[in-house]
Amino acid sequence: MMATFALCLMLEAGDKFLDVEIEKPFDVYLSKQPLLMEVSGAKIIRLENGNRVVIAVASTALKDNSAKERLRAEKVCRTKAFASVVAEKEGVQVAQMERVKEETVIVMKGEKETGKSVSEYLQITTAKVQGIAKDMPVVGKWKSKDGDVFYLAIGMVCNSKGEPVER
């Protein structure tokens, strides 16, 4: 049954993905909007009854098809997806450092003088996400059509106060 369900989702997602497995009710939101499946980050969908669906998608490149690589990809994606939920809730702290170093060297050879100007520019930008959020279960997994990128989605349905709603 899962294979048939996955095939239906793949067809609805514009035939862009392989090995699609998405749990209900999240399949309705993800499979009908392939862009949500392709773009990493947290998404909040407001429902007519006041509830909210929170879905976070993350991706990573697959190095090979081994079980060890699949496990690595799942861990990486789960962490990235959860970080995107915290970033959506708490914001992202961005720090940037710039350093410019200029140096002019003059060389005298006999009566001939030559000069060389050297500039060094360094820019470092870091982004930090820090906060606490409720754990969310994995609700979907799929691969890009070429099988090179692994995607994982975590999600939950919350009421208007942000409390999880039982499935």
Per residue in 30-42, pLDDT tens?
887 888 898 888 9
Per residue in 59-74, pLDDT tens?
999 999 899 999 999 9
* Per-residue model confidence (pLDDT) at position 59: 94
pLDDT band at 6 (very low <50, low <70, confident <90, very high): very low
DSSP of 103-126: EEEEEEETTEEEEEEEEEEEEEEE
For residue 31, with 0-12 CB atoms within 10 Å meaning exposed, 13-18 middle and 19 or more buried, which class applies?
buried
Strands in the chain per DSSP E: 17-22, 41-46, 52-61, 93-109, 112-128, 138-144, 149-158
Are residues 20 and 9 in contact, defined by beta-carbon separation less than 8 angstroms? yes
Mean pLDDT of 47-51: 89
Are residues 44 and 52 in contact, defined by beta-carbon separation less than 8 angstroms? yes
Q: How far apart are CA 65 and CA 60, in angstroms?
A: 13
pTM (predicted TM-score): 0.69
% residues pLDDT > 90 (the chain): 29
Are residues 17 and 37 in contact, defined by beta-carbon separation less than 8 angstroms? yes
* Per-residue model confidence (pLDDT) at position 3: 43
Q: Per the structure block, which two tokens stand in for 12?
A: 């609805």
Per residue in 14-32, pLDDT tens?
478 889 999 989 998 888 7
